[in-house]
């Protein structure tokens, strides 16, 4: 571990400790700050630029007219040999940026200069089992702490001044396939996290911890049949079985290794006091082994943050046989219809459909395709349930032969994968990073073994077009209309940011951070960072100036799982850099 700052960790005296304590009290991130993050502009203390995850900034100093003058002011390398798969979103508080990097590392950086203040490296065991690269998507800030999850399924709380460990908590057994890649969130004094590991036959779960000390407060399994618990005064109290009796929508004992991992993390809507989490694929991928809907896999869940009880669910792909998951972010937004305000939430699913739900009760409002080709389903019924095309489900295997192979679109990496979309309060549009690809997929015989991959399927991903795979789309959630699109040769794999300055930012595997006119889709600026941009950009103001920051470092699932698509990106350089840009003061007023 490396440290620097006002107090050397090995020389902490009583006076130095008092200085840290005094500084911490002024710095401490409160529940009030977290709830207000979407409207504040001088700090970012949540993943998503607000608990609803809209990734919208009210800043407009930087806009479509002057963004051409946006220029880099500093960059910092994450160093070492661990230069790949940088998917985090930075947080900024009182002039310090906190960001994670691959292999479960955390950095504190002077946001004015790019100087590293401290670095924490988790001591990972050699037998970690990350499904989809050694990535991490960010930290949570609370009180004096910087909290994140690790690839060996631990939560670690660090002191914000020194990077020293304050507490460390094991969330699950990494030898069974569990890990944590998502940024945790803090809601009403509770630290909330999901887990990864659906490809290993784990049982997904969402849990709340006391952020001050790591004490478990409640646990909610996300596979039907498993009991949830609330912990009070050190005692475990049953809090209801998820979905009723064991195996109701699962055959036999498969619910015991059912997957449904909420690996992307979640968001929170204060209007309804609900946590919104998505869940991943059922295990194994071979759907013929598990006839039924397989709740709560491939679903969106609304949970009570006080005890983890499930208030409603919406399943996008029942009996998922294509690894479509349902983990993509569910973003709260309001719109007017018939003179009334509709409290809605939207998600762009890996399965190719865009869904608008009533976030108060999970009822289906509308759904529509947001990519050009969908073969696995013929459409959605009036309740939003897919109308399956049975000829495009991979066939059942025998003990000696694989099942019938089919070509399915989208590919299992999804019409949209983990990379978060953004919603503009000005245009009323969602900006969705999507991909046009398909796959040959077939089923194979499989048996569960602890810690081993539990797929029961084989696949080869193929591009649908010669000249592009990625498409950044502007989508109207009220009509289903695609307002504009921008094509990209390689798959898009990074998050999106939109601002009141009529800008949309996102990155490409080719290394560019790009900005678009939010209304027209015209590209108005780009910068080559040297490696693929698959992180989530942010913007904030400091000393009267507007800044933009993003991570650069190619990696993630595409080069690992991409089949023929991987050939398109095989020459892309990996990396590990943190870039920060700003608009010079003397150019702010120029139009």
Place of tokens 């976030």: 359
Element (H, E) at 355: strand 353-358
CA separation (Å) from 7 to 53, 78, 141, 143, 166? 35, 22, 21, 19, 16
Q: Is residue 181 part of an annotated ligand binding site? A: yes
Q: Is residue 385 part of an annotated ligand binding site? A: no
Q: Is residue 137 part of an annotated ligand binding site? A: yes
* φ, ψ dihedrals at 70, nearest 5°: -65, 130
Nearest to 120 by CA among 107, 110, 102, 109: 107
Nearest to 2 by CA among 86, 146, 105, 104: 105
Q: Is residue 417 part of an annotated ligand binding site? A: yes
Structure token pair of residue 269: 């809507």
338 Cβ contact partners less than 8 Å away, ≥ 6 residues apart? none
Catalytic residue among 323, 358, 389, 390: 323
Peptide bond into 284 cis (omega under 30): yes
Using CA atoms, how far apart are residues 202 and 283, in angstroms rounded to an integer? Answer: 8
Q: Is 323 a catalytic residue?
A: yes
Q: Is residue 110 part of an annotated ligand binding site? A: no
Nearest to 258 by CA among 285, 227, 220, 218: 285
Structure token pair of residue 557: 């699932």
Q: Is residue 46 part of an annotated ligand binding site? A: no
Q: Is residue 418 part of an annotated ligand binding site? A: yes
* CA 201 distance to own-chain centroid: 21
Sheet with strand 364-369: strands edge to edge: 331-337, 340-348, 353-358, 364-369
Which residues are part of a known binding site for Ca(2+)? 199, 281, 323
Which residues are part of a known binding site? 137, 181, 199, 281, 323, 417-418
Residue positions annotated with a catalytic role: 323
């Amino acid at each position: 571990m490396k440290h620097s700052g006002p107090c050397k960790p090995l020389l902490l005296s009583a006076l130095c400790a008092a200085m840290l304590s005094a500084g911490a009290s002024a710095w401490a991130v409160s529940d009030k700050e977290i709830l207000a993050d979407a409207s504040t502009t001088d700090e970012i203390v949540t993943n998503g630029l607000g608990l609803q995850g809209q990734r919208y900034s009210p800043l407009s100093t930087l806009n479509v007219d002057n963004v051409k003058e946006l220029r880099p002011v500093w960059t910092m390398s994450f160093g070492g040999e661990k230069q790949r798969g940088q998917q985090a979103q930075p947080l900024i508080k009182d002039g310090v940026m906190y960001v994670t990097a691959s292999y479960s590392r955390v950095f504190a950086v002077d946001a004015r200069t790019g100087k590293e203040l401290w670095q924490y490296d988790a001591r990972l065991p050699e037998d970690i089992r990350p499904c989809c690269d050694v990535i991490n998507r960010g930290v949570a800030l609370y009180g004096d702490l910087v909290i994140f999850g690790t690839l060996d399924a631990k939560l670690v709380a660090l002191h914000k001044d020194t990077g020293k460990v304050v507490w460390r908590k094991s969330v699950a057994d990494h030898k069974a396939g569990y890990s944590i890649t998502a940024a945790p969130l803090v809601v009403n004094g509770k630290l909330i996290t999901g887990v990864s590991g659906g490809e290993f036959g784990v049982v997904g779960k969402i849990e709340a911890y006391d952020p001050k000390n790591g004490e478990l407060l409640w646990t909610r399994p996300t596979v039907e049949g498993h009991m949830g618990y609330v912990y009070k005064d050190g005692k475990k109290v049953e809090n209801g079985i998820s979905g009723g009796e064991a195996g109701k929508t699962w055959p036999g004992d498969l619910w015991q290794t059912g997957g449904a991992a909420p690996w992307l993390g979640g968001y929170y809507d204060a209007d309804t006091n609900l946590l919104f989490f998505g869940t991943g694929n059922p295990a194994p991928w071979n759907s013929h082994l598990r006839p039924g809907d397989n709740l709560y896999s491939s679903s969106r869940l609304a949970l009570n943050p006080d005890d983890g009880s499930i208030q409603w669910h919406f399943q996008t792909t029942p009996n998922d046989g294509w690894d479509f998951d349902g983990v993509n972010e569910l973003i709260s937004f309001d719109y007017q219809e018939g003179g009334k305000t509709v409290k809605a939430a939207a998600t762009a699913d890996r399965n190719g459909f865009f869904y608008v739900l009533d976030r108060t009760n999970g009822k289906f409002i509308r759904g529509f395709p947001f990519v050009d080709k969908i073969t696995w389903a013929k459409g959605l019924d009036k309740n939003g349930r897919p109308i399956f095309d049975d000829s495009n489900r991979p066939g059942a295997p025998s003990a000696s032969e694989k099942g019938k192979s089919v070509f399915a679109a989208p590919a299992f990496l999804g019409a949209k994968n983990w990379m978060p979309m953004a919603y503009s309060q000005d245009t009323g549009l969602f900006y969705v990073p999507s991909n046009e690809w398909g796959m040959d997929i077939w089923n194979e015989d499989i048996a569960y073994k602890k810690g081993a991959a539990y797929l029961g399927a084989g696949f080869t991903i193929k591009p649908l077009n010669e000249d592009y795979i990625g498409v950044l789309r502007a989508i109207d959630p009220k009509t289903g209309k695609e307002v504009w699109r921008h094509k990209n040769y390689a798959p898009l794999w990074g998050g999106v940011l939109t601002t009141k300055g009529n800008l949309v930012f996102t990155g490409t595997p080719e290394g560019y951070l790009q900005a678009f006119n939010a209304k027209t889709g015209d590209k108005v600026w780009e910068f080559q960072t040297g490696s693929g941009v698959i992180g989530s950009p942010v913007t904030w103001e400091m000393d009267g100036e507007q800044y933009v920051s993003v991570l650069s470092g190619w990696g993630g699932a595409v080069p690992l799982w991409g089949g023929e698509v991987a050939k398109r990106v095989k020459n892309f350089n990996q990396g590990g850099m943190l870039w920060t840009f700003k608009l010079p003061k003397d150019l702010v007023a120029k139009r």
